[in-house]
Amino acid sequence: MTHIDRIRDADTPQIFPIPQAVISQETATHLITEALARWQATTPEEAHRFATILEQQFPDQARPDDFWHSQSSGAFRDFFVWGHNHDFGHGITRSGAMGPRHIEITTEALRLGMMPPSLKGKKVLDVGCWSGGDLLILAGLGGQVTAIEEHPIAAKAARHLLELIGVDAQVLETSLYADKQAWAQQFDYAYCSGVIYHVTDPLLLLRILFAYLKPGGSVFIETKGVTGEGSICSYSGTLEKGWNWYAPNETALGRWLVDAGFDTRSVRVYRRENGRLLASGQKTENRTLRETAGFSRPGSWLEGVV
């Protein structure tokens, strides 16, 4: 790819294609249901024991069903509420503040071809796993999962859940911004749901994910979105509960992916019925950062060919 080609690639397009269904809703639902069923307890007694252990060691500090509407003003690391709903099997469940979103989002991603129906033999990075809902689906689809979670209690809760139910996956208590050059070109798939609008530097996040992917690898993003013409983001920061920083529209999210290095022709952006956005892109080759002016890691390895 020549310098001129790179400039043209970076300049277009302003509207990204909307992904079309590749499998039926029923098939996608079945795949996700089967993925989660792999981790259910074999007996009611075992399911009850797992649920009791996690409830005692990681109690909710607010009611999951109304946490986002409560008056709690605790900072991110100062509270813990279980993340996604979890089914231990045999009718024993634990509700989470995020409800069944992990099931809804991954089902939609499968239906639209933004997530492969099988991750067998693939090295998968799960960014922001919270208590492990997404992680269980990724592992259930066959992925060799490494998860990152910067919330210390949530990371411990996810790790303990995996140990109890027998999932062979790694959960690291760290920020994605604590980048690891040793991870360059190590992953086949990066999954980042409900995270990018919670960070102060979304382009850096995407550049790190780009660097971690192998050529041919893909990224999936799910985020809060905003509507409007052109390439825009909304900003609320700490004013809005949930530490929501930059919520993009379709064009802005697509542009972030392109500017981070993902192939323009591969980028797809989809607005769900609830207004949130799904996006995917592929790393077709190792690339330098398109523009280093103003980059928040000046002179770092992330600016070079990764």
Q: What is the pLDDT of residue 284?
A: 98
Tell me what the mean pLDDT of segment 83-105 comes to: 97
Residue 7 pLDDT > 50, yes or no?
Answer: no
Q: How confident is the model at residue 79 (pLDDT cuts 50, 70, 90)?
A: confident
195-230 pLDDT, tens digit per residue, is 999 999 999 999 999 999 999 999 999 999 999 988
Dist CA 1 CA 214 (whole Å): 18
Percentage of the chain modeled with pLDDT above 90: 85
Q: pLDDT digits over 256-290, tens only?
A: 999 999 999 999 999 999 999 999 999 999 999 99
**Above 60 in pLDDT, residue 1?**
no
- Other CB atoms within a 10 A radius of the CB of residue 48 amount to 16
DSSP string for 62-109: S-TTTGGGS-----GGG-----B-EEEETTEEE--TTBTHHHHHHHHH
Sequence-separated (6 or more) residues with CB below 8 Å from residue 52: none
| Residue pLDDT, tens place only, 137-170 | 999 999 999 999 999 999 999 999 999 999 999 9
pLDDT band, very low/low/confident/very high, at 3 (cuts 50, 70, 90): very low
Domain ranges of the chain: 3-303
Please enumerate in sequence order all residues whose Cβ is within 8 A of that of 19, keeping only pairs 6 or more positions apart, or say none. 112, 113, 114, 268, 270, 278, 280
**pLDDT beyond 50 at 33:** yes
Which overall architecture, per CATH, does domain 3-303 show? 3-Layer(aba) Sandwich (3.40)
The answer, yes or no, to whether residue 5 has pLDDT greater than 50, is no
Instruction: Supply the pLDDT for residue 239.
Output: 81
Indicate if the pLDDT at residue 192 is higher than 90: yes
Q: Percent of the chain, pLDDT > 70?
A: 91
Q: Is the pLDDT of residue 301 over 90?
A: yes
Q: What is the mean pLDDT of residues 184-195?
A: 98
- Which pLDDT score, from 0 to 100, does residue 176 have? 96
Determine the residue type at 193: S
Cis amide bond preceding 13, omega within 30: yes
Q: Is the pLDDT of residue 9 over 70?
A: no
What does the pLDDT average to over 247-255?
A: 96
Pairwise CA distance, residues 272 & 227, whole Å: 12
Give the confidence band of 243 by pLDDT, cuts at 50, 70, 90.
Answer: confident
Interval 167-188: pLDDT, tens = 999 999 999 999 999 999 999 9
For residues 39-62, average pLDDT: 96
- Average pLDDT of every residue of the chain: 92
